[in-house]
Amino acid sequence: MRWLALVVALLACPAAAQEVPQWFTPSFLDIREDVAEAARESKRLMVYFHQDGCPYCKQLVTVTFRDPKIVEKARRHFNAVDINIFGGREVTWTDGRKMSEKQFAALMKIRYTPTLLFFDEKGGVAARIDGYLPPERFIAALDGAIGQTRRVRTD
């Protein structure tokens, strides 16, 4: 009976991992390959940095990333992948260096979550969104990331 109580308790608890939308691109986290694949599709790479338990990340995923206008625009112009800033999956940077997600987040100077980086066709950071933006501001930020280099801050 104890095992049944444990199973019920585990099922009742929310998952600790941050769920990303199904429309994100499966990736081996080789940034060189991800940038090249996006470029072949006439898109850019969008990297979403998050952490477990982040309320703003949850808001981004459950509200902003479910807005039909944002989903359509993001899927048309970007290949999206996610990075857990405390994660241990291996990431390969554009110069071939291999590191953990945590080390990659530090390399990219990710100070808080959510943060989104948009890479151009050569692997350079073309745009950055630091912090949560509501859907209407996020759409404007996506427009900027599509066509030009810019940094969008939430403060």
Digit-by-digit pLDDT tens for the chain (155 residues) are 443 333 333 333 444 456 899 999 999 999 999 999 999 999 999 999 999 999 999 999 999 999 999 999 999 999 999 999 999 999 999 999 999 999 999 999 999 999 999 999 999 999 999 999 999 999 999 999 998 544 444 44
CATH number at residue 92: 3.40.30.10
pTM: 0.84
Give the C-alpha separation, 85 to 104, whole Å: 8
Structure tokens at 58: 């949850």
What is residue 15's predicted lDDT score, i.e. its pLDDT?
42
Question: Is position 4 within any domain?
Answer: no
Question: Is position 103 within any domain?
Answer: yes
What is residue 123's predicted lDDT score, i.e. its pLDDT?
95
Question: Is position 2 within any domain?
Answer: no
Judged by DSSP in three states, 150 sits in strand
